[in-house]
Amino acid sequence: MLRVSTSGYNYSHNRCINIVEWFVNEYLSRYKLDINIHHRRLIKRDGVLGWAWVSGSESRPREFEIEIHNLMDREEYTKTLLHELWHVYQHVKKIVLCEDEACRMEDVLFKNYNKGS
């Protein structure tokens, strides 16, 4: 079961939900997850396009917060959200967090998402 909530402005709610649902169905369908996505102007504030972190138990992570920059084109937004969702995957599967892996995976995930949607 997946529960997704979104907040913020200057983003497509439907696109966001579609990407998250696709990713979870493909990679984490066995898990009950709660993912909250907040759209903000991160580049000016933090110099990044996105963040992801566990908001619940670290020992059994199932609740996550994602902050994502709200002013990107469709491709950049999709890749960034998939990148952050890969970090969610790493937490759930208890894989050592590796930024290099997430950077490599965003292009793979983007291609797979475009095939499946």
The answer to whether 51 and 116 are in contact (CB under 8 A) is no
The answer to whether 50 and 84 are in contact (CB under 8 A) is yes
In the chain (117 residues long), the average pLDDT of successive 10-residue segments reads 93 94 96 96 81 90 95 95 97 91 95 88
State the pLDDT at residue 116: 74
Q: Where are the alpha helices (DSSP H) in the chain?
A: 13-27, 42-46, 74-92, 99-116
State the pLDDT at residue 7: 94
Residues 6+ apart with CB under 8 A from 80: 49, 50, 68, 69, 72, 106
- Distance, in Å, from the CA atom of 103 to the CA atom of 62, rounded to the nearest integer, reads 22
State the pLDDT at residue 66: 97
State the pLDDT at residue 97: 82
pTM of the model: 0.93
Q: How many CB atoms within 10 Å of residue 35? A: 23
Could you tell me the residue ranges of all domains in the chain? 2-110
State the pLDDT at residue 69: 94
Reduced to 3 states, what is the DSSP secondary structure of residue 85?
helix
State the pLDDT at residue 100: 93
State the pLDDT at residue 117: 65
Tokens of 57: 């138990």
| Domain 2-110 indexed as CATH 3.40.390.30 | yes
- Distance, in Å, from the CA atom of 12 to the CA atom of 71, rounded to the nearest integer, reads 11
